[in-house]
Structure 1
Amino acid sequence: MFVFALMPVLSTLSNLVLLPTISSTFGQAGWTSVVLGQGIGAAVSVVCSLQWPTEGPALVARAPSPLAQAMLRASMRSRLVALVACLPFAVALIVIVDPPELLVCVLSCLATAAIGMSPMWYAVGIGRPSILIWLEGIPRLVGNLLSFGLILGGALLWTYPAVMLAVSVFTAVVSWFLLAGGIRGNGQVWRNEQNRRSVSFATLARSLDAGYNFILGPVVALLAPAAYPVFGACDRLGKVVISGLSIVPQGAAGWAAEPHDESVRIRRVRLARAWIMPVALLLFVFLTFATPTLVHLLFAGTVEVSLSTSALLAGVVCMAFLAQFLFLTGLAPTGHATAGYRYLVIGFAVGLPSLVVGTLLWGANGAFLGVLTAGALLVGLSLWRIRTAIRQVSVAAA
């Protein structure tokens, strides 16, 4: 539990140190370029991570140690291929959007995209989340502090994403040699039992999910440039919160999927669903009232946010957090991961048009309203499927 508390602290501390410095030193042009690049890179990281962050912890938790290591090796190979394939499209999108600082935006995209090679899901699945502290948390904090010092010393803004790109590459290389067995491996070979159609659908669903969760910034920047500073600042804050909280569903996923007895798994799924709802409500209330102050501090007063915008952002963050939590601790452990992927496709089909229409009509608020609509639909469908699965097991047991 110490690790689960420490990782969000390290992630949040990094953002609290750098964002105000970048905003005050390089102005709105600087931080919008960084945030836009990170948003596009985050989309790439979701796509290239394939289905591993959602299904990987459960697979690894039930596998013997040599086979689990083979899974990590196979995942890193496939994720690297996907990453290389996605990067040209990401760079092309950045060129089309034309941010104020092109090099900064591209490097920010690359640094964030490389996070898709993270072994977080593997560490959680094998029950050793503590390795994430020295493998990801501390290197990322050191990279941010180094960037902070360079910027204070007069370095150009591109040095920040360049340092963070080096950190992401370091994490991937160390993971390959220390966790995945290096070049030779352990002799075990893991083959995915899913057919290509299932894997392709899972990848497509996560790609579409990335579309309406992370390509929001470029869409708003293209359709309503004047609304982007407010939207970009709030969206960045939301990503910071979601990133900091991501270890919660990741950690709970291994706990929920660990038991081989189906009835025990169902009890854990029911318990997880019960306690996460008040947590989400508290998160919504906190963000609604804290967002204006947080945005003002993080972006050095270069942008101000109204209470209505902060309430919409709070709703978006809560829906995203709940959707991730319910997938990892509800749909996946009950054998309904495929249904979850279908819901992602439905969410995209509803969310992207809602985002476009909302942005054109009401700017930043309309964009958040469109994303909130898709998120609420996704959470509602997930809760319905989990409740149905629990009822089916209860009837069978009776």
Structure 2
Amino acid sequence: MFLLALITRSVVFVACLPVLLLVPLIPGAPYSDVAILATLSAAAVGVSPNWYFLGTGQPTKILLVDSLPRVVAVVASSVLLLFGAPLWISPLFSLLVSLGAPLLAWRSIRRIPHEHPRIALAEIWPTIRAQGNALSGRAVSALYMALPTVLVAIVAPGVVAQFSAAERLMRMTLAVLQSVPNSLQGWLGATLSPRSRRDRILGAILLNLALGVAAGTSYAFLAPWASQVVFTGSVEVTPLLALTGGALVLVVCTSRATGGLGLVNLDRVGWIAISAIAGAVTGLTLILALGSIFKAEGALLGELAAECVVLAVQLFVLNKSLQKLQPEPDIFDLSDGKQR
């Protein structure tokens, strides 16, 4: 299973390279070498083995094969940069960690008795096709998450820095919180009982909702101060931007549970792509419209509306699916007291 997933992820990674390198390879683009390595490094995170160790209940392996090497790479590249090393050293080290992590994981798995993963080449394409719905949903989500800054630059170029600062802080917050739904994947997949599945899905959603409330509130209060520190006073996140961003953090935390946990567990992966498309259409329209009128605050409000549409679609489908999970029959018939 691990080797098959690694190969299919690698195939998708290589297939996406022409699009990923479209901008960095433009003739005359500044720092093209750094941009190419940074692009490859960011994309290579997709082949991370963390999902496997989360699913098998081995979080320590994540520390050993991914997190610790990444920390070492950051420290080493920072030291080298202080001593005059070229700028491309940093993304190169990060790329090496991203590509090395699955190889270290594979070596670790092969050492387990009776665990010798082998696959046939004929399995690769059917597996990619089977994951098409999930892949298309992630692709659409990535697209409309990457475009807002470009759209703001079109309709309100004077507030790009302010909008980017608010969104950057928000994405940093969400990146840290991603570990929570990831860690729940194995817990949700460990149960077969319909009643238990329903309870665990609802529990996971409520947990992420509570996390979103806490994180969103913290963002709303701390983002103006954090922007002064992170961006050295060159740009400020206004209170209204911070409040909108906090609401956005709440909605995204919740949709991570309804989609990536709930719909996946109930085999409704196709609806994740549909919800992403609905959100993309809403977001691209409202960011342009509201951004031209209300500037940075309006554009971020358009993003919030898009994520609300995503969450609404997922909640609708999730509710219908959960209703089909009938509770298990009781062991005793209470009407006559006889055991079934």
Q: Tell me, yes or no, whether TM beats 0.5.
A: yes
1:23-62 correspondence to structure 2 within 5 Å: none
Q: Which residue of 2 aligns with 1:20?
A: none
Residues 205 and 254, structure 2, Cα contact 8 Å, conserved in 1:
no
Report which of the two has the higher share of helix: 1
CA contact (8 A) 2:41 2:92 kept: yes
Change (3 A) 1:173 1:196: closer
Residues 287 and 302 of structure 2 are in contact (CA less than 8 Å); yes or no, is this contact kept in structure 1? yes
Aligned match of 1:258:
190
Establish whether residue 234 from structure 1 lines up as the match of residue 163 from structure 2: no
Match of 1:284 in 2: 216
CA distance 1:122–1:222, change in 2 (3 Å): farther
Give the aligned residue type for 1:304: E
2:300 is aligned with 1:345: no
Gaps of 5+ in 1: 1-70
Give the match for residue 23 of structure 2. Answer: 93
State the AA in 1 paired with 2:177. L
Question: 79, 96, 103: which is aligned to 1:166?
Answer: 96
- What letter corresponds to residue 299 of structure 1 in structure 2? F
Which residue in 1 is equivalent to 2:303? 371
Partner amino acid, structure 2, of 1:167: V
Contact 1:212 1:371 (8 Å CA) reproduced: no
Structure 1 residues 354, 100: closer, same or farther in 2, change over 3 A? farther
Alignment of 1:192-271 (within 5 A): 199-221=131-153, 224-271=156-203
CA contact (8 A) 2:209 2:253 kept: no
* Structure 1 residue 396, shift from structure 2 partner: 7.8
Query: Is 1:312 the equivalent of 2:259?
Result: no
Residue 225 of structure 1: how far off its partner (Å): 4.1
Cα deviation code 1:134-173 (max 9, x no counterpart): 1111111111212322333344433222221222122233
Find the partner of 2:72 among 136, 139, 142.
142
Q: Is the 8 A contact 1:258 1:265 kept in 2?
A: no
Distance (Å, rounded) in 2 between the aligned partners of 1:172 and 1:196:
18
Residue number among 117, 134, 137 corresponding to 1:186 in the alignment: 117
CA distance in 1, matches of 2:124, 2:192: 20
Task: Tell me the matched-pair count.
Answer: 326
Deviation at 1:197, TM superposition (A): 6.1
Separation in 2, partners of 1:78, 1:233: 35
The alpha-carbon deviation at position 198 of structure 1 amounts to: 5.1
Q: Give CA-to-partner distance per residue, 1:67-114, whole Å, 9 cap, x none.
A: xxxx22122212212212212212223467x98644433322211111
Task: Report the 3-state secondary structure (helix = DSSP H, G, I; strand = E; otherwise coil) of the residue aligned with 2:284.
Answer: helix
Q: Percent identity?
A: 25
**What letter matches 1:160 in structure 2?**
S
Unaligned residue ranges in structure 2 (runs of 5+): 331-340
Which structure has more RCO (C-alpha within 8 Å, separation ≥ 6)? 1
Letter in 2 for 1:146: A
Contact 1:104–1:158 (CA<8 Å) still a contact in 2? Answer: yes
Offset of 1:329 from its aligned partner? 2.8
Deviations 1:368-391, CA, capped at 9 Å, x for gaps: 222111111111222233233333
CA RMSD of superposed structures (Å): 3.0
- For 2:135 and 2:319, the matched residues in 1 are separated by 26
CA distance in 1, matches of 2:119, 2:38: 36
Does the CA contact (< 8 Å) of 1:72 and 1:180 recur in 2? no
Does the 8 Å contact 1:326/1:382 carry over to 2?
yes
Task: Check 1:94–1:193 CA distance in 2 against 1; reply closer, same or farther (3 A cut).
Answer: closer
Using the alignment, how far apart are the partners of 1:194 and 1:105 within structure 2? Answer: 34
Task: Answer yes or no: is 1:83 the counterpart of 2:35.
Answer: no
Question: Which residue is equivalent to 1:301?
Answer: 233
Instruction: Determine whether 1:386 maps to 2:318.
Output: yes
Deviations 1:240-299 (A, max 9, x none): 211111110011121112111222111111222233323211211110011112122122
Q: Aligned partners of 1:100 and 1:304: how far apart in 2?
A: 27
Q: Any idea what the Cα deviations from partners look like across 1:213-252, whole Å, max 9, x if unmatched?
A: 2343444445544333222222222222111111100111
Please give the alpha-carbon distance, in whole angstroms, between the structure 1 residues aligned to 2:207 and 2:286.
Answer: 31
Alignment TM-score, normalising by the size of structure 1: 0.73
Is the 8 Å Cα contact of residues 162 and 237 (structure 2) preserved in structure 1? yes
